Structures are given as structure tokens and as C-alpha cells.
A and B are shown apart, each in its own frame.
Chain A
Amino acid sequence: MALIKKSAAPRNPAKDDRAGARDFDGLTRQLDEHDATARRWAARDLAVHANASAALLTRLQRENDVSVREVILTSLMRIADPAAIGGLVACLRSEDANLRNEAIEAMKSLPVEVAPIMRGLLVDQDPDVRIFAVNILESLRHPDVEAWLVEVIEREPTVNVCGTALDLLAEVGTSASHDALERLKTRFASEPYIQFAADLALKRTASMSDGQK
């Protein structure tokens, strides 16, 4: 026995579980294959098909295999068209906590695509969706994150949403948010948590000018 080198390029698998047609129709059919590996490969190869979002989102709703779900989400992130973004937003309204969290994680990586719809999500009629939108801002690399959070604490009626926004403002905010934080304290004068979290945010951002973010 020894170190050996094959004479040709790496072999194709002996059992070719990717033997189905690799065109759009073939790949979307394979999203429903019994074998998880075939579904995973189909989801991956669909990333280069701009019109694949709907099929991927449909599969995501009923996919139970974690590895396939992860690949579907990565392909949606790669396509990142309005259909993909709209589908991820729809996942925020799901009863499935895993799906909601996966959608939040995916949207965090898409600052350019998510930015145009962020204001709408932050005023969604469902307060849970508004909290998830703040969760997305947590690691969204976008220059308007602080401005969006300030808008939330200026007008948001639900204390839990404001609390979530305050936690994040304490991390990413600057002195530009101070006036809004003071107004929030006035608006929720009888809410001890808001008083505590707003004071913490004021303290943590006191030395942060806008240019030090």
C-alpha cells in the first residue's frame, strides 16, 4: 500500500446520483426526488437559473432535510431576485421557527437587495415581523441601519419592538440617535425596561460620533 495517483482527473462517482437532466425542468423535478443528495444537488445547480426562485421556495416550505434546506437558502441568496426576497419575507410569517430563523439569516447577507424593502418590513402590521426585521438589521452591512432603528424608536407603538431596536442601537448607534432615545424614554415613561435599555444605549453611544461607527 502507498500513496497513489490516478492517471486522470478525479473520477465521477460510481453511483451517479446526479444522472438526471441538468436543465431547468429536470432540476426542478429533482427537487422532489426521494434521495436527499439528489435534491441537494438540484437545489445547488438551480442557483444559476434566474427563474428558479419560485421552485426553490416551494420546496423549502416542505423540505425536512437540514442539508437540503441550507443549500436551497444559499441558492436563493445567490439568485436574490425580487421573487427570492419576497419568498424570504413570506418565510418571516411562517409558524415554523426554523424557517423564520433561516430566512432572517439569509436576509442578513443581502444588504443591497433587502434595503429597498426594509422600511416596509419595519412598519409591517405584524409586530413579530417588525421584530424579525430588527433582527435582520443586527448584522446587515448597510449604512442606513442606525437611521432605520431611529425611525423605529420614534414611531413604534409596541414596547417589545422598541426594546429589540434599543438593544441593537446600543451596539451600532452613535450620538446621532440621542434625541430619539430621549423622546422614546418620554413616550414609554412607565416602562422600566425601556428606561433601562435607553439609558444603556445613551451611555454606550455617548462617545460615538457618526464617523466612529
Chain B
Amino acid sequence: MTAASISQDDFLKFQEYFYRKTGIRFEDNKRYFVDKRLVERMGHTGSANFREYFSKLRFDTDGVEMQALVNLMTVNETYFFREQYQFDCLVNSILPEIVARKKDNRTIRIWALPSSSGEEAYTIALCLIERWPGIADHDVEIISSDIDTNILALAKAGLYSARSTMHVPESYLRKYFRKTANGFQIDDTLRGAVEFTRVNLQDPTDVRPYRHFDVIFCRNLLIYFDDVSRKQAAETFYDALRPGGFILLGHSESMSRISSLFQVRKFDDAIVYQRPGV
């Protein structure tokens, strides 16, 4: 079977269906990427043609095939300390402000998504332990979510290549990583400090339990969504945050272009967005 077996009509049909389910829309310039993966799943499921595969996908009551397809279609490339200025902002400005207005003993909650293979969530954990003195006085919970279950398994395993860890300070590598045959594994303490969960941001049932966060990292995800899905995601974040909570987006993303729900906050290290109502 070849990629040519996906016709333009097939592609459009799949494009619309996948968008409705995930909020991710593949434009025509992604045909090669999409066709290649569809053909792979067609082969894996023994489907003779796209029509047969699409039927299996739509009537797949347990959602297993849809999840397998999502796992293939999502992009998972990141590394430790990517866009480090935002982690600096977290420990230098955001957390001190949260602590200053916190009146009780409650846990500070941080949500990082998409988790991809875990580098961002573990970077947050490293920064809290190594660079934020407040960790001595406050409990912090880090939850990291992704739509891709395969990548979540990798995140939990905490195995990384030398490329992925190239920006990790040598002292951290020695202290928190174990050398393996192909790279490094992050230590059990840090692996035990992050909760990894599967979430489809476009599914209201999935996101419903995610509430009362103080900080959300959502970097380089919304760029894959169309306008309506971006707005929907912004509104999900609004309700997931406590009043006064902060959201950090990727450097090329701007909440101001998506939604008017958040206020812009300019800190020394970064521009972030804040839910009003402190």
C-alpha cells in the first residue's frame, strides 16, 4: 500500500474528523506527514483502503485506534531548559508573588502541558528544588498532561538522550541523573515528584477535573490549533486557574490575540498572562 491510496477527498474527510476530535487541523501542506501515518495505521489494522480504515476509526467504541492515531500524529520534540527565561520568571517573580498573597497552607499547583516526554515538567521540578528557596516552606504539586499515551509512558520512564539534556547544568546532571547506555535517566525522586496524566484539551470531560492551578505552562501547543480551538483552550485555562493564576505560552504565542480573558504581566524575565481577580 502506498501514500497515493489516500485521495484528496479522503484527506479532507480525515482532516475534519481529526479536527473535531482533537482541535488539531492539518492543512494541505501536511499531506505527506498525515498520509504516511494514516497508511501506517491502515496497514496495522489490516484495512484494505481508507474507507475501511475510517469506518473502523469512527466506530472504534473503546477509542484504542483513535488513541494510536493521535499518538502518531502529534509532534513530540522538546528538551530540558527550553526557553529558560520562563523558568527564571517562575522562580524569580511568579512564585514569590503567589506566596506573598497566599493566606493559607494550601499546596501550590502547577500544570504543564503538553508534557511530551517530560522534559518541561522535570525542568520545573529541578528549578524549584535548586533555584527557589521557597520550596523549604511550601508544598508544590506538578501535574503534566499530554494527549499521547506513548509519550506519557516515556515521560514516566524519564530516559533522555544527550541532545535532550544538553542545556542541563553539569552539576544537575551529576546530582539528579544516572548515566545509561544511551544517555541519562532522571532519578526516582524527581520521577516521583511529577504526576503525568492523559488529557485531550478539547474534551470538556477530560479537562473538567483540572482546577485550582496557580501556574500553567502551555508552550507551543496552541500554534497547532485553529482560532476557535485556541479560544476554547484559553477558556479552559481560565477555569483551571485560581483567580490571579498565571499562564506561560511559547515565545511565538500571544494570549492577547486569542482571548481578552487574561491580563498581560511584564516581569523582568518574561511576559506572562494572568487570570484577573486576585
Contact = CB atoms under 8 A, between A and B. Distances in A.
A177 to B, nearest CB: 26
Interface residues of B: mostly helix, strand, loop or mixed?
A: mixed
Contacts of A40: 235, 239
A100 interface: no
Nearest to A139: B227
Interface string A11-35: 1110000100000000000000000
Contacts of A13: 211-212
Interface string B228-264: 1001100110110000000000000000000111000
Given A40-B239, A48-B204, A67-B261, A3 B212 contact: no
B267 to A, nearest CB: 23
Given A13-B211, A66-B260, A78-B232, A1 B141 contact: no
A2 to B, nearest CB: 7
A70 interface: yes
A27 to B, nearest CB: 11
Contacts of B62: none
Interface in B99-145: 107, 125, 128-129, 135-143
Contacts of B143: 10
A44 B228 contact: no
B157 to A, nearest CB: 16
Given A44-B235, A74-B232, A1 B136 contact: yes
Interface string B173-203: 0000000000000000000111101000000
B209 A5 contact: no
A40 B107 CA distance: 26
B208 interface: yes
Contact of B137 (A1, A3, A41): A1
Interface string B264-277: 00000000000000
A211 B42 CA distance: 37
Contacts of A66: 260-261
B224 interface: no
Most buried by A among B138, B231, B238, B260: B231
Contact of A3 (B140, B228, B232, B236): B140
A37 interface: yes
Nearest to A48: B204
Given A3-B193, A5-B195, A45-B204, A11 B209 contact: yes
Interface residues of A, number: 27
Contacts, number: 82
Interface in A177-203: none
B210 interface: yes
A66 to B, nearest CB: 7
A10 B140 contact: no
B230 to A, nearest CB: 10
B261 A3 contact: no
Contacts of B227: 109
A128 to B, nearest CB: 23
A110 to B, nearest CB: 8
Q: B135, B194, B210, B211 — which one has the most chain A CB atoms within 10 A of its CB?
A: B211
A7 to B, nearest CB: 9
B238 A5 contact: no
A2 B228 CA distance: 39
A5 B107 CA distance: 11
Contact of B193 (A4, A45, A48): A4
B231 A77 contact: yes
A143 to B, nearest CB: 14
A60 interface: no
A202 to B, nearest CB: 31
Contacts of A12: 209, 211
Given A1-B135, A3-B125, A10 B231 contact: no
Given A10-B211, A67-B261, A70-B261, A5 B194 contact: yes
Given A3-B129, A44-B235, A78-B228, A9 B136 contact: no
Interface of B: 107, 125, 128-129, 135-143, 192-195, 197, 204, 208-212, 226-228, 231-232, 235-236, 238-239, 259-261
9 contacts: A1-B136, A1-B139, A3-B140, A4-B193, A5-B142, A5-B193, A13-B212, A70-B259, A70-B260
- Nearest first, the 6 closest Cβ-Cβ pairs linking A and B are A3-B193, A109-B227, A74-B231, A10-B209, A13-B211, A77-B228
